A and B are shown apart, each in its own frame.
Chain A
């Protein structure tokens, strides 16, 4: 081996040669991290689809909009699809391997390739006509305007007396 990935503390860790094992491992890490951060959060929502790869996402809100940022390095903008319904954002696409990646075996692989789909439930309704998305330096940023009636929506619950 003439190029050794330098590892600071985990020097004894073997190279991850198997992509399947590496993906299982990253899923386990992610599950474990999620559990440590929010022990029962995973039970409440399937925010992240496990199994296939899916990009890391930030979701932030201001008074007027939601902002979603997703890390999607190495994608062509035409391979990306963003769709919005009133309360859900769906990111899908495919990260393609280059031809040279297909023709020769990997020496070492940590990146994930293939198609992905990620449903992001939005906490409130958005105006699906006022959405703009921008892809720059491998980061996708989407601004979604909150719909005006979002804040004042309130449903009365009638209790029937038996």
Chain B
């Protein structure tokens, strides 16, 4: 096991894995907008059709499998990244409406849209002048 893989295992989130091998924690950006949170995770190499986004017990789990492995027919001179699935979990409060969570994956970036529930959306209250 390389150093990189060890780090990856330490960082791995405890979501269920269907395959053995290291599981990497993707870098994420989180943006807050008035009506939703957007989570963008860097998952280079992940196949969009196989990405699994799961919500249970207030925890949103992302599992993005990578269908590649190191080729054995060649000699590696430089290896800076490990190849393995991506896993990460987020605890989500009731302020998010889980039924309307959507996800898209393009060019190695997974975007999750987490709409805020109606109760917490900012709203303007009109003041009546008498």
Listed in ascending order, the chain A residues whose CB lies under 8 Å from chain B are: 2-6, 8-10, 33, 36-37, 47-48, 56-62, 67, 71-76, 100-101, 104-111, 123, 135, 137-139
Taken together as a complex, chains A and B put the C-alpha atoms of A71 and B48 apart, in Å, by 16
With A73-B109, A111-B27 in contact, do A3 and B92 touch (Cβ < 8 Å)? yes
Taken together as a complex, chains A and B put the C-alpha atoms of A75 and B108 apart, in Å, by 9
A60 and B76 within 8 A (CB): yes
B108 and A2 within 8 A (CB): no
Contacts of A6 in B (CB 8 A): 13, 59, 88-91
Contacts of A48 in B (CB 8 A): 80
B74 and A111 within 8 A (CB): no
Listed in ascending order, the chain B residues whose CB lies under 8 Å from chain A are: 3-4, 7, 10-14, 27-33, 37-40, 42-48, 59, 71, 73-81, 88-93, 95-96, 107-109, 114, 120
What is the minimal beta-carbon distance from A71 to any residue of chain B, in angstroms?
A: 4
What is the minimal beta-carbon distance from B83 to any residue of chain A, in angstroms?
A: 9
A2 and B92 within 8 A (CB): yes
Contacts of A9 in B (CB 8 A): 10-11
Contacts of A67 in B (CB 8 A): 71, 74
A8 and B12 within 8 A (CB): yes
Name the residue of chain B whose CB is nearest to the CB of A109: B29
